Structure 1
Amino acid sequence: MIVGTVKEIKNHEYRVGLTPESVHELTAHGHRVLVETGAGEGIGASDAFYEKAGADIVATAAEIFATAEMVVKVKEPQAAERAMLRPGQILYTYLHLAPDPDQTRDLIASGATCIAYETVTDASGGLPLLKPMSQVAGRMAIQAGATALEKAHGGRGVLLGGVPGVLPAKVAVIGGGVVGFNAAQMAAGLGADVTILDRSPEVLEKLGMYFEARAKTRFSNRANLAECVAEADLVVGAVLIPGAAAPKLVSADMLKTMKKGAVLVDVAIDQGGCFETSHATTHAEPTYIVDGVVHYCVANMPGAVARTSTYALNNVTLPHALRIAELGWKEALRRDPHLREGLNVWDGKVTYRAVADDLGLPYTPAEEAIA
């Protein structure tokens, strides 16, 4: 199979779909790999590294979209990239379609086969291709939140861990999944006063056993959520419904109860955000203020630590890429029901129910695509 990866063009996105090591694996299996010149600069991988791994370096993304049977990316294709997709071509990347009707329409019109990292599952019901970026984003949420709390960045001027004789900052983490766990781990490690909210008794029990006295847990109902948000210096939104738009858990009215200079970090922004006042920002302008509350809503947080993120991502995406290249996408999805969950758009049809439901589009089961 001819596999291609392009230089990401989203604002301040430095990750790349394939590392030189991943290229070496693909070429060792007899596949041809095309890499756009400069695609790996953000992770310190020059064209020479890719050539040594067996890749063919091409001058433009257009050449890759015109030639490659499978395009491997990191972020959702931008409008210019979507215009280059062609019927039957495989797109393998993060998509986050539920809050993005324009992208969804373009992918439907392209006729491409679009496999989304974020909806591929595993035997335990987890999201293994989303997990490493959730780990990165959860940890970064605390770094970003701590910076935003500084007075020079619009925050309250509070140090997360406090100092002897001065209380630490209060951190509320909404959601106890991968993002929430990693955020709480970082915040507790810095000495903050951490509360994690979740609706699953099993999750709360596991978190309680792990953190013991280093973090508190609370059941996430409206009253508890409102109280924690009002008291917090930093709130991290870490909720996820696989493939679907994130629920708006913190309303504009709740925002008015918060301290001036408090900070919201919405890690769910890729799926539309879990704060009513959220809208996507970029690394170039990461924050804005509503009712005195600083909002950090960068939609590609892990792009800022591109080398760490790219290698963590390739560790989990490459095995599926190899399987698709070896077997073809239909046979790969027939054999692996977990990879089949990643099929979001095929032949002009939406094949992931949550996306179809959220956008009011007809739903076609993925099983029909591979029949």
Structure 2
Amino acid sequence: MKIGVPKEIKNREYRVGLTPAAVHELCGHKHKVLVETGAGVAIGFSDEDYRQAGAHIVESPREVFELAELIVKVKEPQSEERAMLKPEHTLFTYLHLAPDKPQTDDLVRSGATCIAYETVTDRTGHLPLLAPMSEVAGRMAIQAGAHCLEKVMGGRGVLLGGVPGVPPSRVTVVGGGVVGQNAIAMAIGMGAQVTVLDRNMDVLRELDHRYGNRLTTLFSTTQTLDQAVTESDLVIGSVLIPGASAPKLITRDMIRRMPEGSVIVDVAIDQGGCAETSRATTHDDPTFIVDGVVHYCVANMPGAVARTSTLALNNVTLPYVVALANKGADRAMKEDPHLKAGLNVAAGKVTYREVADATGHPYTDPESLLGS
């Protein structure tokens, strides 16, 4: 199979769909890999590295899309990339379609088979291709939040861990999943006073067992969430409903009552954000202020540590890329229901119910399209 790796064009996105090591693996399976020139140079992977791994270097994204059957990316295709998709393409990347109707509409029109990293599952019901970026984003959320709390960033001017004689900052993590767990680890490591809210008691029990009295665990209700958020210096929003828009749990009224100069880092922004006041930002312009609260809502946070993120992502995506290339998309998904769970759009139809509900498209059972 011909596999294409275009250079990412989203703002400040330096990650790359395949590393040279991944290319070498695919070439060992007798596949042809086409890599756009400069695709990995920003994170230390030169065109020569890719050539030595067996890739063919092409000069433009158009060549990648014209020649390849399987397109492997990191971020959702931008409008100019979507215009190059054809029915014979299989696209394998993060999509986050629920809050993005224009992208969904374009992918439906393209007729391409579009498999989203973020909805591929495993035997335990977890999301293995989302997990490494969630780990990165959770850890980065505390770094970003600590920086935003500095006075020069519009923050309260407080140090996350405090100093002897001065109390630490109060951090609330909304959601105890992969993002939340990594944010908690970083915040506790920096000496903050940390509270986590979740509605899964097994999650809260596990976190309580891990951290003991260094972490306050709360069952999330409207009242407990309101109190925790409005008393916090830093709030990390890490709520996820796979494939669906994030619920707006943090209301405008809560934001209004937070301390002046406090910070919210909305990691759920890829799925629309979990605060009513959130809107997507970029690494070039990462923050804005609403009612005195600094909002950090960068939609591709892991792109800031692009080499680490690329290596972590390839560790989990490569087996699926190999399966798609060896078997073709239809057969690979027929034989692996967890990969099939990643199918969001195919043959001009939306095949993921939450995306269909959020974007107004009719839902089509993916089983009815495989092999059609």
Matches within 5 A, 1:41-52: 41-52=41-52
**Deviation >4 Å, runs of 4+:** none
Name 1:109's counterpart in structure 2: 109
Q: Deviations over 1:104-147 (max 9, x none)?
A: 00000000000000000000000000000000000000000000
Matched residues in 1 for 2:42 and 2:353: separation? 35
What secondary structure is seen at the aligned counterpart in 2 of 1:370? coil
Matches within 5 A, 1:37-186: 37-186=37-186
Name 1:247's counterpart in structure 2: 247
Name 1:204's counterpart in structure 2: 204
Q: Deviations over 1:60-99 (max 9, x none)?
A: 0000001100000000000000000011200000000000
How far 1:41 moved relative to its partner?
1.3
How far 1:42 moved relative to its partner?
2.2
Structure 2 residue runs without a partner (length 5+): none
Matched residues in 2 for 1:214 and 1:21: separation? 41
Residue identity over aligned pairs, in percent, reads 65
Name 1:14's counterpart in structure 2: 14
What secondary structure is seen at the aligned counterpart in 1 of 2:325? helix
Matched residues in 2 for 1:55 and 1:212: separation? 50
Give the count of matched residue pairs. Answer: 371
The question of whether the paired residues in 2 share the 8 Å contact of 1:88 and 1:347 is answered with no
Matches within 5 A, 1:348-359: 348-359=348-359
Matched residues in 1 for 2:2 and 2:178: separation? 34
What secondary structure is seen at the aligned counterpart in 1 of 2:295? strand
How far 1:357 moved relative to its partner?
1.0
Name 1:190's counterpart in structure 2: 190
Matched residues in 2 for 1:211 and 1:280: separation? 32
Matches within 5 A, 1:215-230: 215-230=215-230
Matched residues in 2 for 1:326 and 1:13: separation? 29
Amino acid in structure 2 at the alignment position of 1:264: I
Matched residues in 2 for 1:128 and 1:210: separation? 22
Q: Deviations over 1:245-303 (max 9, x none)?
A: 00001111111110000000000000000000000000000000000000000000000
Name 1:302's counterpart in structure 2: 302
Structure 1 residue runs without a partner (length 5+): none
Name 2:338's counterpart in structure 1: 338
What secondary structure is seen at the aligned counterpart in 1 of 2:165? coil
Name 1:29's counterpart in structure 2: 29
Amino acid in structure 2 at the alignment position of 1:51: R
1:4 and 2:4 aligned:
yes
Amino acid in structure 1 at the alignment position of 2:11: N
How far 1:359 moved relative to its partner?
1.4
How far 1:358 moved relative to its partner?
1.3
TM-score with structure 1 setting the length: 0.99
What secondary structure is seen at the aligned counterpart in 1 of 2:257? coil
Matched residues in 2 for 1:97 and 1:144: separation? 25
Name 1:265's counterpart in structure 2: 265
Amino acid in structure 2 at the alignment position of 1:130: L
Matched residues in 1 for 2:243 and 2:11: separation? 23
Amino acid in structure 1 at the alignment position of 2:255: L
Amino acid in structure 1 at the alignment position of 2:306: A
Amino acid in structure 2 at the alignment position of 1:203: V
Matched residues in 2 for 1:42 and 1:248: separation? 36
Matched residues in 1 for 2:43 and 2:247: separation? 34
Q: Deviations over 1:294-346 (max 9, x none)?
A: 00000000000000000000000010000010001101001100000000000
How far 1:361 moved relative to its partner?
1.2
Matched residues in 1 for 2:368 and 2:332: separation? 14
Name 2:284's counterpart in structure 1: 284
Segment drifting more, 325-334 vs 357-366: 357-366
Matched residues in 1 for 2:91 and 2:347: separation? 12
Matched residues in 1 for 2:301 and 2:8: separation? 14
Matched residues in 1 for 2:122 and 2:200: separation? 20
Matched residues in 2 for 1:199 and 1:222: separation? 11
What secondary structure is seen at the aligned counterpart in 2 of 1:256? helix
What secondary structure is seen at the aligned counterpart in 2 of 1:194? strand
Q: Deviations over 1:134-191 (max 9, x none)?
A: 0000000000000000000000001000000000000000000000000000000000
Matched residues in 1 for 2:220 and 2:366: separation? 34
Name 2:347's counterpart in structure 1: 347
Amino acid in structure 1 at the alignment position of 2:179: V
